[in-house]
Amino acid sequence: MNIDSAQVYTDFSGLAALRARAREDQDAALDEVSRQFESLFLQMMLKSMRDASLGGGLMDSKQSEFYRDMYDKQIAVNMAQKQGIGLADVLKRQLGGGISAQYGDLSPEEYLGMPITARPVNAGAGTDPVSAARRSSDAQQPFDGTPDAFVDALWPIAEEAAAKINLPPEALLAQAALETGWGRHVMAHRTGDSSHNLFGIKADSRWQGDKVMVSTLEYRDGVALNTRANFRAYASFEQSFSDYVEFVQRNPRYQQALTQATDPKAYFSALQEAGYATDPAYAQKIQRILDSESMQRAAQSAKEGATTI
């Protein structure tokens, strides 16, 4: 669905149409709102650049400043409507990249939490996992991003991996769903090939396998910062699950969490307290996904399918 957006910065009719259309197609509305926000950001950036200059020439006047301001605002609108600086894409990814019925009964809090998980950046060496804000939805996946497809495709692998740490498989899948938005935002190489990284584990100097560098949102002292970092890349989702199990088993800080793995709520709370994530609501977000009707329905279907095989 196309939305008539404001192509001229003084035209507010496009914004009025956007508000009306948002009730019909939130996916398209999110795309346009992200671009409008990027346009405002570019306007502020250009204004700051002008203010930081040494001053105008002898021919400058209030009138010339007025028209120059109009020009800058129109430039910002044009830039945002074309390639832009990438801010609109980041906003779309952070807000989910699409709000549709495929997420069933998930609440807005659950949905918005999926792609914007934060990870610690302490210990200097960067050995902790850091979830990426920048993902690629173009990578080829064996699922379409819906809870049913995601759980059905990964259930056998999750079941085998979860058994090694005494965690219910649906709990492990809930964490992967939070990290990747039900598989829609798995990190990818520049070639578009999937990294198969379902848990956002960062690649430190000890990691000898393949890597993928992406932009990531990290929190330092409660402040969100954008940076670029290397993350582990795998040849398959099986390797991602296996590495996650090995990662938590070998890391001393997560041993307390492992002793509570039979209780997913306690496990993820302990995992968060041990520094797995800086997001104070990380464990709650996983629990909401785990308790959601979408996950329960998908898990039950996967269990029944495994039983009949």
Active-site choice (69, 218, 279, 291): 218
> To which residue do tokens 């009949």 refer?
308
Active site residue 218: yes
Active site residue 204: no
Closest CA to 306 of 162, 158, 173: 158
DSSP letter for each residue of the chain: ------SSTT--HHHHHHHHHTTT-HHHHHHHHHHHHHHHHHHHHHHHHHHTSS---TT--HHHHHHHHHHHHHHHHHHHHTT-SSHHHHHHHHTTS---GGGTT--HHHHHHSS-------TTT--S----S---S-S--SS-SSHHHHHHHHHHHHHHHHHTTT--HHHHHHHHHHHHTTTTT--B-TTS-B---SS--B--TT--S-EEEEEEEEEETTEEEEEEEEEE--SSHHHHHHHHHHHHHH-GGGHHHHTTTTSHHHHHHHHHHTTS---TTHHHHHHHHHHSHHHHHHHHHHHHHHHH-
By CB atoms closer than 10 A (0-12, 13-18, 19+), residue 124 is exposed
Active-site choice (105, 243, 273, 304): 243
Question: Catalytic site residues?
Answer: 218, 243
